[in-house]
A and B are shown apart, each in its own frame.
Chain A
């Protein structure tokens, strides 16, 4: 899967990601968690909680948020911001869906600069 399409890289089919669940994409820039919310919207975040680095991909997805499995921080899937009283942000990864395929911005996969 090495084709580069105008700066976006096709990484999965939408159906590969369970609804209210997540799959992990390994990349040179680190693991990226792809999420699919109950309403079908797909999000991508670096797979590290801003709190203790926990794998967000392993958390429970609810609405457009995920709860980190290590200490229950709630992270917004769109912005990567911690919700409620907690402060911190996980970088998000530009992602879009075309014809049932999930594409992420290739630049995000080589470094943290998204």
Chain B
């Protein structure tokens, strides 16, 4: 059992990694207590930009969830900020009075964003870009649309600007210096970057000295020294961070810019470690994750008794995480005595490369436009490789050296085992290769799970795959993601994510932005894209008729002889003498050869000529009937039994609920067809337990089922949850349908989707989490506002008339030759 107490102040990525290492090496050595000022678990801060851009959600970037802490017996105090350390008594005290005693203490208080000391800096609507609260504030502002001003044109500022732009805001970047990212780029490269940023529709204003922030109750704009005013609904300050060293300073520890530590990561008090962004080591303060992870490794080793473990400083590399702007910088690239530089420019290709050398060793590299050689240069910086022999061609990259081929595999094969592959998680090539052999791994996901390589920002995924292929040879099958079709390498999920993240709102836009290999797609991808766009941009996207399968284009079902079948809606399976009479008249009038009752409790008119369709619909419309959508990847039928109105066993009004569901949900498009059933008691006469969504009425309310199948596959439903009222049942069913609409792949029935994502995920979203359910329900309602238009009535009124009319017939022709 643990006898010693370890207290950690701060719960960011650095202490998180230190604890991981500690628990791996010595699971029972310490009883751990964590104080976190933020009210949440440890998450991946590097991934805030993708969250802001809408490419990921918070749950995707959690590193340690509550269960992780529970399994390791860690006491995690969320939302409790430590205000004092009593070094004599060896205790820490939080704001709310919570105290904890320690044998060893880790200070990991991180850094805090620097806020410009100008008037108005405390107004609501002025945020930093540091934690999830900031991102949420930005997302909330973006939902209302409007204007955003980002102060600071460095890495973070540009990522924030790109994210806000992707969320649909008008964005201005204000930068004090004459060009963007002046710490990494010279003027020419800064210009290339500025051009690329401007091409995304973001305004860049350099040499912008912020004078004041305007507004009374809330920020409304920014005024510059030169008098220029930019309106703003939100202002993001991204002008740098400074170490959070106040707690250490108050405790009497040695502090300069940050908390001073030695190579063992110990502060001036030997019982107290410090690590992360709050630390100053050999005069350097770090804000990137790779050095923090190196520090974490040393702290964990020291705690488990390895007194020789030492941190000797880091060379850092960084990458701009803005899609479409490739920028990589590593090491030290400032001017200085004895330094030389090599620069390559290709303005037409938008490429800029700069290497800084000292004594025949590369000490810094900046690559813009073509960053493929980044890791190679970075490796030489870290190895202090003597480059005098290849100086002449160095800037052209690895493929020009020693006749090595352009094959990326060869480049990866040539890397030494110590070469870093994943910068975010500090994983080198040798670690990946050896774990593949040791554990018999066969794929990317497994490698990610075991090493975390490419598990954070993912930009090294290609490299990791090449290392896997080197280790496994042909046994490695990288096609983990099935492409949508031959027109693209992307899978359905990636296409869908990018449609939302990049606000792509037409099929040509998707094909252009995502690099489709064909000029106008194929019969597989076009209907899928059309569905994704209909679903994701309700009311905005204009349906592309030519990308729909014939049945959905002409709102009837094509038969083997080219005629069509027509199925009017019968709500919940109910009909009337008036409707039946109208159907009979239509059958006579158009000489319809076959009339059949369907399995979904309605009537199918088979063998209708295409040109007769509008006239048939006009007569059915006149009797009050609309399209039954028997052809749609959308809501089809809601089958019911007679329920408590008639049946002696009925517990609830199953027919009434079926009718309500059908009237509420008709017209909605879904990834594949959606059939429902409502049974009035567990005898289940409506066969609800083999439907996509089913309801079994019971005395206490409504049991909601989903994921049944009775076609190619036969499968009983699973119980999703229990609703006490009709209204609750309808809300759960609509939320379930919306989740399926948003996550299902085109042509994937509910049961297959459920198998892929797992029932617990679905249950959590539509049953357990009331808020999530409510927002899913509301999105469904919004979508229905524009979806519930009877396609038959539209066509009776003349829409798509060409679709139903043949060109003039040619009857009497003599061959002219």
Q: Measuring CB to CB, which residues of chain A are less than 8 angstroms from any residue of chain B?
A: 1-2, 4, 6-7, 9, 11-12, 16, 18-21, 23-28, 31, 34, 38-39, 52, 54-55, 58-63, 65, 67, 69-70, 72, 74, 106-107, 109-110
Complex contacts, B546 vs chain A, CB 8 Å = 18-21, 60-61
- Within the complex, the shortest CB–CB distance from B544 to chain A, in Å, comes to 9
Partner of B816 from A38, A72, A107 at Cβ < 8 Å: A107
| Nearest B residue (CB) for A12 | B807
Is B521 close to A, CB under 8 A?
A: yes
Residue among A55, A60, A106 having the largest count of chain B Cβ atoms under 10 Å: A60
A109→B558 contact, CB < 8 A: no
| Nearest B residue (CB) for A21 | B546
Is B549 close to A, CB under 8 A?
A: yes
Is B562 close to A, CB under 8 A?
A: yes
- Within the complex, the shortest CB–CB distance from A84 to chain B, in Å, comes to 10
User: What is the CA–CA distance of A31 and B817 in the complex, to the nearest angstrom?
Assistant: 21
User: What is the CA–CA distance of A23 and B520 in the complex, to the nearest angstrom?
Assistant: 20
Closest 5 CB pairs of A and B: A67-B523, A26-B809, A20-B546, A58-B550, A60-B523
User: What is the CA–CA distance of A24 and B523 in the complex, to the nearest angstrom?
Assistant: 20
Is B118 close to A, CB under 8 A?
A: no
Complex contacts, A23 vs chain B, CB 8 Å = 802, 806-807
Partner of B813 from A9, A69, A70 at Cβ < 8 Å: A9
Residue among B547, B551, B554, B810 having the largest count of chain A Cβ atoms under 10 Å: B810
| Nearest A residue (CB) for B809 | A26
B562→A58 contact, CB < 8 A: yes
- Within the complex, the shortest CB–CB distance from A6 to chain B, in Å, comes to 7
Is B756 close to A, CB under 8 A?
A: no
Q: Mark B501-521, 1 if CB is under 8 A from A, else 0.
A: 000000000000000001111
- Within the complex, the shortest CB–CB distance from B289 to chain A, in Å, comes to 45
| Nearest B residue (CB) for A58 | B550
A28→B811 contact, CB < 8 A: yes
B810→A26 contact, CB < 8 A: yes
Residue among B546, B547, B549 having the largest count of chain A Cβ atoms under 10 Å: B546
Complex contacts, A27 vs chain B, CB 8 Å = 809-810, 813
Known: A12-B807, A69-B550, A109-B810. A52 touches B560 (CB 8 A): yes
B810→A28 contact, CB < 8 A: yes
B809→A69 contact, CB < 8 A: no
B806→A69 contact, CB < 8 A: no
Complex contacts, A9 vs chain B, CB 8 Å = 810, 813
Complex contacts, B811 vs chain A, CB 8 Å = 28
B802→A18 contact, CB < 8 A: yes
User: What is the CA–CA distance of A24 and B554 in the complex, to the nearest angstrom?
Assistant: 15
Is B598 close to A, CB under 8 A?
A: no
Cβ contacts A to B, 8 pairs, < 8 Å = A12-B807, A24-B806, A52-B560, A59-B550, A60-B547, A62-B523, A67-B522, A69-B551
Partner of A62 from B526, B549, B808 at Cβ < 8 Å: B526
User: What is the CA–CA distance of A61 and B518 in the complex, to the nearest angstrom?
Assistant: 13
Is B54 close to A, CB under 8 A?
A: no
User: What is the CA–CA distance of A70 and B560 in the complex, to the nearest angstrom?
Assistant: 7
Is B308 close to A, CB under 8 A?
A: no
Residue among A52, A62, A72 having the largest count of chain B Cβ atoms under 10 Å: A62
Is B89 close to A, CB under 8 A?
A: no
User: What is the CA–CA distance of A4 and B814 in the complex, to the nearest angstrom?
Assistant: 9
Q: Measuring CB to CB, which residues of chain B are less than 8 angstroms from any residue of chain A?
A: 518-523, 526-527, 545-551, 554, 558, 560, 562, 802, 806-817
| Nearest A residue (CB) for B559 | A70
Q: How many A-B residue contacts, CB cutoff 8 Å?
A: 108
Complex contacts, B816 vs chain A, CB 8 Å = 4, 6-7, 106-107
Complex contacts, B812 vs chain A, CB 8 Å = 2
- Within the complex, the shortest CB–CB distance from A5 to chain B, in Å, comes to 8
Partner of B520 from A6, A18, A20, A26 at Cβ < 8 Å: A20
- Within the complex, the shortest CB–CB distance from B584 to chain A, in Å, comes to 29
User: What is the CA–CA distance of A41 and B560 in the complex, to the nearest angstrom?
Assistant: 29
| Nearest B residue (CB) for A39 | B519
Complex contacts, A20 vs chain B, CB 8 Å = 520, 546-547
A110→B547 contact, CB < 8 A: no
A107→B815 contact, CB < 8 A: yes
Known: A60-B526, A62-B522. A107 touches B817 (CB 8 A): yes
B518→A62 contact, CB < 8 A: yes
B817→A62 contact, CB < 8 A: no
B523→A59 contact, CB < 8 A: yes
Beyond A69-B550, A107-B816, A110-B813: 15 further Cβ-contacts under 8 Å? A1-B808, A9-B810, A11-B810, A20-B520, A24-B807, A25-B810, A26-B807, A38-B520, A39-B519, A60-B549, A63-B519, A63-B522, A106-B813, A106-B815, A109-B813
B523→A72 contact, CB < 8 A: yes
Partner of A70 from B558, B807, B809 at Cβ < 8 Å: B558
Known: A4-B816, A20-B546, A110-B815. A58 touches B806 (CB 8 A): no
Complex contacts, B809 vs chain A, CB 8 Å = 25-27
| Nearest B residue (CB) for A11 | B807
User: What is the CA–CA distance of A62 and B548 in the complex, to the nearest angstrom?
Assistant: 12
Complex contacts, B806 vs chain A, CB 8 Å = 23-26, 31
Complex contacts, B554 vs chain A, CB 8 Å = 58
Complex contacts, B558 vs chain A, CB 8 Å = 55, 58, 69-70
Complex contacts, A34 vs chain B, CB 8 Å = 807
Known: A18-B546, A107-B816. A62 touches B810 (CB 8 A): no
A28→B813 contact, CB < 8 A: yes
User: What is the CA–CA distance of A11 and B452 in the complex, to the nearest angstrom?
Assistant: 65
Complex contacts, B807 vs chain A, CB 8 Å = 11-12, 16, 23-26, 34
User: What is the CA–CA distance of A23 and B558 in the complex, to the nearest angstrom?
Assistant: 16
Partner of A11 from B522, B549, B808 at Cβ < 8 Å: B808
- Within the complex, the shortest CB–CB distance from A28 to chain B, in Å, comes to 7
| Nearest B residue (CB) for A60 | B523
| Nearest A residue (CB) for B811 | A28
| Nearest B residue (CB) for A104 | B810
Complex contacts, A18 vs chain B, CB 8 Å = 545-546, 802
User: What is the CA–CA distance of A67 and B554 in the complex, to the nearest angstrom?
Assistant: 16
B520→A63 contact, CB < 8 A: yes
- Within the complex, the shortest CB–CB distance from A103 to chain B, in Å, comes to 12
- Within the complex, the shortest CB–CB distance from A95 to chain B, in Å, comes to 13
User: What is the CA–CA distance of A21 and B549 in the complex, to the nearest angstrom?
Assistant: 12
User: What is the CA–CA distance of A31 and B523 in the complex, to the nearest angstrom?
Assistant: 23
Complex contacts, B545 vs chain A, CB 8 Å = 18, 21
| Nearest A residue (CB) for B815 | A107
User: What is the CA–CA distance of A39 and B811 in the complex, to the nearest angstrom?
Assistant: 31
Complex contacts, B815 vs chain A, CB 8 Å = 106-107, 110
Complex contacts, B808 vs chain A, CB 8 Å = 1, 11, 25
User: What is the CA–CA distance of A67 and B521 in the complex, to the nearest angstrom?
Assistant: 12
- Within the complex, the shortest CB–CB distance from B558 to chain A, in Å, comes to 5
User: What is the CA–CA distance of A74 and B522 in the complex, to the nearest angstrom?
Assistant: 10
| Nearest B residue (CB) for A2 | B812
Complex contacts, B548 vs chain A, CB 8 Å = 60
| Nearest A residue (CB) for B611 | A24
Complex contacts, A63 vs chain B, CB 8 Å = 518-520, 522
Complex contacts, B547 vs chain A, CB 8 Å = 20, 60
| Nearest B residue (CB) for A27 | B810
Known: A20-B546, A25-B806, A34-B807. A62 touches B520 (CB 8 A): yes
Complex contacts, B817 vs chain A, CB 8 Å = 7, 106-107
User: What is the CA–CA distance of A62 and B554 in the complex, to the nearest angstrom?
Assistant: 18
User: What is the CA–CA distance of A26 and B809 in the complex, to the nearest angstrom?
Assistant: 5
Residue among B560, B813, B814 having the largest count of chain A Cβ atoms under 10 Å: B813
| Nearest B residue (CB) for A31 | B806
Partner of A1 from B518, B520, B522, B810 at Cβ < 8 Å: B810
User: What is the CA–CA distance of A107 and B806 in the complex, to the nearest angstrom?
Assistant: 20
User: What is the CA–CA distance of A12 and B807 in the complex, to the nearest angstrom?
Assistant: 7
User: What is the CA–CA distance of A95 and B808 in the complex, to the nearest angstrom?
Assistant: 17
| Nearest B residue (CB) for A37 | B520
- Within the complex, the shortest CB–CB distance from B465 to chain A, in Å, comes to 29
Residue among B560, B807, B815 having the largest count of chain A Cβ atoms under 10 Å: B807
User: What is the CA–CA distance of A11 and B545 in the complex, to the nearest angstrom?
Assistant: 24
